[in-house]
Structure 1
Amino acid sequence: MALEKNVLSITELTRQIKFSMESSFPRVWVEGEISNFKQHTSGHLYFTLKDEGAQLSALMWRSRVANLTFQPEDGMKVIARGSITVYPPRGNYQLDADQLQPIGLGELQLAFERLKQKLEKEGLFDAGHKQPIPEFPECIGLVTSETGAALQDIRSVISRRQPSVRVILAPVRVQGTGAAEEIVEAIQTLNRLSGIDVMIVGRGGGSLEDLWPFNEEGVARAIYASKIPVISAVGHEIDFSIADFAADLRAPTPSAAAELVVRDRMELLEDIRNLCYTMRGAVNRQASDLRERTASLVSSYSFNRPKDMVREFSQRIDELERSLGYSFTHRAQKEHQKINFLQQQLQALNPGRVLKRGYAMVRKDGRIVSSAHGLILGDAADIQFHDGTVEVKVEKGHSS
């Protein structure tokens, strides 16, 4: 009897495998090293997670990529969370990742980036809040380890460049548990003292873990709240800390911080010499200009012939006086002629002169009668001649 065979298609087999795997591994955490990393133009991430014994294809959709706080790269060790899925067209299983976190140093770096973004949003790094560093400080507060190389480097630079500057040390631990709290307390203590012009907070180089106290939120807030300008000097030039962003000025090294805050006395002396030279030259040029102007004045005609100048001015005054007199006389004559003309016009219009020529004015009830129609028989009227007035009564009238 022939054995009955249950033959499956590739599609059906793959479908069953897909159902089985996706049901068995709905959510897993896996650890591995990223390889074959690629970000597609669509925004999706495709990569492989591997260890010494196996490898696993993985992907992350664009909507989840936006939540990443770091940039994945080949060789980076990470922990990924996601679900196992099967991609039927190629018949392989893969991790559909929804979270991705770096391991070890990557975790510290992740915490660094998160705190940096948080404090930046709060405005702790705003340039408008930063205080100017005094150009000639007399007293410097120093927050660092009393046994570290940073202290010796800073003191050496200050004693060489400006030995008169005082240094007040607030000793702290600069790494390990409790270091951040000591740094915060030291910054606050120096702010309670008077006479400190500027503060240097820092330490020498080290690993990211060694430098971590300067990446603590409390240290950043203490620096931001400091009334004394703060220079951050943590590690080497390539090292950046949260304290660097919160400080009023970042120095690449502790020695560089001392050089930034204290000017070299020899440079200052040279600046003073240059300033004196410049001032001396300016004074000499001004004195030379004054000598030339004085010599020109002394040799001038007006300086040597003052009587001639007085005579010329006297003559000029006489000319002005004559001109003024002529102008006044001419104007008076014109005004007199104008007055005579106006008087003649007034005389010509004088009613008395008209009456002398044989004319008369007739008034009725005090009003001038200018027409025969203004009077009727029986009206009484006054007739004014040049030498008097008579009263009349109209007895007869004629109209023209």
Structure 2
Amino acid sequence: MSMDRAARRKAYNVFVWNLNTTHAIMFGLASRVLTVSELTNRIRSALERSFECVWITGEISNLRIPASGHHYFTLKDASSQIRAVLFRGAAQGIPFALQDGLEVVAYGRVTVYEPRGDYQLVLESLEPKGIGALQLAFEQLKAKLTQEGLFDAARKRPLPCFPQTVGIVTSLSGAAIRDVLTVMHRRWPGIRVVVHPVPVQGDGAAAEIVDAIRTMNALDELDVLIVARGGGSVEDLWCFNKEPVVRAIANSQVPIVSAIGHEIDVTLSDFAADYRAPTPSAAAEVVVPRADEFRRRVSDYRDRMVQAVRLTVQRMREQVWHSQRMLPDPLVWLGHFGQRIDELDLRLRRAIRDEHGMKHRQCREWQTRLYLARPYSQLHRARTVVHDRHHRLREIMVARLAGARSRTDVGLARLQTASPLAMLRRGYSRVETLPDHRLVRKAAEVNVGDLVQAYLGQGHLICAVREAVSDA
């Protein structure tokens, strides 16, 4: 082993296991066996001393963002990769969103994650490779809001032609407010202006701009709202590229004109606004019409209306003159009209007379029919029919009742002749045993000493059998 390799191993406290001699050789350490945790800790200390902070470029892959807000991913190039972590505090300072496949330039320190024994980078900052962080954040948010339709032209509303009250959201200390008010006063001295002062750069500017837009929307008197700021760097204008501000402008119920920076400065608020003015002064010119121009236009409209009325009156006079020439002599026209009236009167009288005669004949005919069909005649005929049918029905009922009575008498006579009581009255008797009341038909059915009951034509006898004699 060369001296250089031995020196490097000593410098990094490397522990080597010699398989041939089966004993441990320690460089720079006491001759004892280390635990895994001790070895990992010494490796971490050596790495952190040798690589305090480094710049590294690579492509993000396997990005994972748990609920804690930390970012875990792998930085890789064509042949190697290394684990990296961006803790939540550092991640909040990055304006763009990390994503797989994004090439970045990262700054951080090399360390070892002891529970797994993996070496990794703990990053403090990230920059997209080949493009600035703010530009990447701009493009990412623009793509997202475009996909949502927030920048669609169909959402843009027209600006009022003659606003009565104009709202302005800007800083009171900048040149923008002075330029806007100067132009407005020059173009329309009597216009009413409501100003909501806000900071237009810095950390808290976005939240205050959003609150100002909402406050101005709560005022029913506003016709249009200008969100303005003077020129500046990308960082100075960045609050107008933040998502809450862009959404507040897009959701405003009052039409908004954005006037942020100079003509070359473009922000996402410009895309969300109903109209984008290149400068604050231009916004004032777009929103407020010139009073003298307005008066000139009113005068032009008045002259055009007067001319149109004159032409209309002249045209109507010519039409009346032509109509008078086309009209016939009124007396001749009235004569023809009177003759026509006489003819129609004669035809009407004849029609009335003919109609009256026809109706009279119809009335006589209906009178005859009504006389024949009067209720008294119909009732008389119906009464006769009912009387005849009642007489016939009575005769039939009497005959049927007489026949039924005769048949009943014959049946009763037959029943009386065949009745057992009739036979008893002729001297016969009916004998039953006692106490079970069995009918006695033969002498053999009773024994000497039995009690029997004999039914006669009138009454009955209870007898004791002294002798039972059966006929041969």
TM-score, length-normalised on structure 2?
0.46
Partner residue in 1 for 2:332? 308
Report which of the two structures shows the higher radius of gyration computed on alpha carbons: 2
Aligned partner of residue 118 in structure 1, secondary structure: helix
| 1:205-224 equivalences in 2 (<5 Å) | 205-224=231-250
Deviation per CA, 1:300-356, whole angstroms, max 9, x where unpaired? 552xx211112233455678899999xxxxxxxxxxxxxxxxxxxxxxxxxxxxxxx
Is this contact kept in 2: 1:82–1:99, CA < 8 A? no
1:234 positional shift: 0.9
1:219 positional shift: 0.7
- 1:29 to 2:23 alignment: no
| 1:232-271 equivalences in 2 (<5 Å) | 232-271=258-297
Partner residue in 1 for 2:180? 154
Is this contact kept in 2: 1:105–1:208, CA < 8 A? no
**Taking every aligned residue pair, what percent have the same amino acid on both sides?**
48
- 1:106–1:164 Cα change, 3 Å: same
Among 254, 259, 271, the residue aligned to 1:228:
254
Unpaired runs of 5+ residues, structure 2, are 1-54, 62-74, 81-99, 105-127, 350-472
Task: Tell me how far apart the structure 2 counterparts of residues 194 and 300 of structure 1 sit (CA, whole Å).
Answer: 61
Unpaired runs of 5+ residues, structure 1, are 1-27, 32-59, 65-80, 87-96, 326-400
Aligned partner of residue 199 in structure 2, secondary structure: coil
Task: Tell me how far apart the structure 1 counterparts of residues 302 and 158 of structure 2 sit (CA, whole Å).
Answer: 28
Partner residue in 2 for 1:391? none
1:143 positional shift: 0.8
| 1:268-347 equivalences in 2 (<5 Å) | 268-300=294-326, 302=328, 305-315=329-339
Deviation per CA, 1:74-101, whole angstroms, max 9, x where unpaired? xxxxxxx642559xxxxxxxxxx95434
Task: Tell me how far apart the structure 1 counterparts of residues 342 and 131 of structure 2 sit (CA, whole Å).
Answer: 103
- 1:312–1:223 Cα change, 3 Å: same
Task: Tell me how far apart the structure 2 counterparts of residues 238 and 161 of structure 1 sit (CA, whole Å).
Answer: 26
Task: Tell me how far apart the structure 2 counterparts of residues 146 and 229 of structure 1 sit (CA, whole Å).
Answer: 22
Task: Tell me how far apart the structure 1 counterparts of residues 172 and 102 of structure 2 sit (CA, whole Å).
Answer: 43
The one-letter code matched in structure 1 to 2:238 is: W
Partner residue in 2 for 1:182? 208
Deviation per CA, 1:161-195, whole angstroms, max 9, x where unpaired? 11111111111111222221221122122223331
Among 79, 83, 98, the residue aligned to 2:77:
83
Aligned partner of residue 226 in structure 1, secondary structure: coil
Task: Tell me how far apart the structure 2 counterparts of residues 322 and 256 of structure 1 sit (CA, whole Å).
Answer: 85
Task: Tell me how far apart the structure 1 counterparts of residues 255 and 103 of structure 2 sit (CA, whole Å).
Answer: 40
Partner residue in 2 for 1:100? 103
The one-letter code matched in structure 1 to 2:290 is: D
Is this contact kept in 2: 1:29–1:82, CA < 8 A? no
Task: Tell me how far apart the structure 1 counterparts of residues 78 and 156 of structure 2 sit (CA, whole Å).
Answer: 51
Among 218, 225, 246, the residue aligned to 1:192:
218
Deviation per CA, 1:124-171, whole angstroms, max 9, x where unpaired? 223444443222211111111111111111111111111111111111
Partner residue in 2 for 1:352? none
Partner residue in 2 for 1:141? 167
Is this contact kept in 1: 2:57–2:103, CA < 8 A? no
- 1:301–1:189 Cα change, 3 Å: closer
- 1:104–1:164 Cα change, 3 Å: farther
1:242 positional shift: 1.1
Deviation per CA, 1:213-244, whole angstroms, max 9, x where unpaired? 10011111221232222111111222211111
Aligned partner of residue 159 in structure 2, secondary structure: coil
- 1:251–1:320 Cα change, 3 Å: same
- 1:85–1:120 Cα change, 3 Å: same
Higher RCO (CA-CA < 8 Å; seq separation 6+) = 1
Deviation per CA, 1:254-290, whole angstroms, max 9, x where unpaired? 1111111111112211211111111111110111122
- 1:317–1:98 Cα change, 3 Å: closer
- 1:125 to 2:119 alignment: no
Is this contact kept in 2: 1:180–1:218, CA < 8 A? yes
CA RMSD of the aligned region, Å? 3.5
The one-letter code matched in structure 2 to 1:30 is: T
- 1:172 to 2:198 alignment: yes
Task: Tell me how far apart the structure 2 counterparts of residues 192 and 294 of structure 1 sit (CA, whole Å).
Answer: 59
Aligned partner of residue 158 in structure 2, secondary structure: coil
Aligned partner of residue 160 in structure 2, secondary structure: coil
Partner residue in 1 for 2:358? none
- 1:204–1:279 Cα change, 3 Å: same
Is this contact kept in 1: 2:249–2:272, CA < 8 A? yes
Aligned partner of residue 77 in structure 2, secondary structure: strand
Partner residue in 1 for 2:389? none
The one-letter code matched in structure 2 to 1:162 is: W
